[in-house]
Amino acid sequence: MAGAAVKRLMAEYKQLTLNPPEGIVAGPQDEENYFEWEALIMGPEGTCFEGGVFPAKLTFPNDYPLSPPQMRFTCDLFHPNIYPDGRVCISILHAPGDDPLGYESSAERWSPVQSVEKILLSVVSMLAEPNDESAANVDAAKCWRDDRKLFEERAKKSVRKSLNL
């Protein structure tokens, strides 16, 4: 199965290099291991994350694309859908099938027709529009709901930190 996964990841990497989405750079950490990728995601324009460049890692399972990768930001990012340790909590990265909690439909969750590009674009959308109803970081979700000005200040601090300012 790992051979099929590598073949698929190589094709996705080629597609990302030929037609990269705006504000996203991603690829294997080294071309000897297609299961560990690095990504740089620019904060979406018109949001409190604008101007930031946020590094992340994607780790792919041996049975990719049957199972989703895991994604983790390697910088501090105060956001309702990012755990304090950087793990990304977004429907597209959840295992395929029915949600045991009944919150997500199976159509929102991972399926083999998804791609690295779709994941990264979903994460950019997530940065722009947090889902505070399904919080990975409860403090960030509460701040987003109750004190938007403070949330934006903390987000802008993440932007400055991402740029080493």
Residue 47: predicted pLDDT: 96
Percent of the chain predicted with pLDDT > 90:
81
pLDDT in tens, 74-84: 999 999 999 99
- Average pLDDT on 126-135 reads 91
Residue 153: predicted pLDDT: 96
Residue 100, pLDDT > 70, answer no
The helix/strand/coil state of 36 is strand
Q: Count Cα neighbours of 128 within 13 Å in the Cβ-side half-sphere.
A: 12
CA distance 68 to 83: 18
Residue 1, pLDDT > 80, answer no
Both tokens of residue 117?
A: 């590009």
Residue 98: predicted pLDDT: 67
Residues forming the active site: 89
In contact, 37 and 58? CB cutoff 8 Å: yes
- Average pLDDT on 110-133 reads 94
Residue 70, pLDDT > 80, answer yes
Residue 99, pLDDT > 90, answer no
Locate the domains of the chain by residue range: 4-163
Output 11 or 98, whichever has higher pLDDT.
Answer: 11
Cα distances (Å, whole numbers) of residue 13 to 10, 33, 73, 158: 5, 12, 19, 28
Cα distances (Å, whole numbers) of residue 132 to 13, 80, 127, 138: 32, 6, 12, 8
What homologous superfamily does CATH list for 4-163?
Ubiquitin Conjugating Enzyme (3.10.110.10)
What is the average pLDDT score of the chain?
92
CA distance 86 to 161: 15
In contact, 104 and 94? CB cutoff 8 Å: yes
Enumerate residues 6+ apart whose C-beta is below 8 A from 29. 36, 37, 38, 57
pLDDT in tens, 16-48: 999 999 999 999 999 889 999 999 999 999 999
CA distance 27 to 153: 31
- Average pLDDT on 104-116 reads 85
Residue 116, pLDDT > 80, answer yes
Query: What one-character DSSP code corresponds to residue 82?
Result: B
Residue 62, pLDDT > 70, answer yes
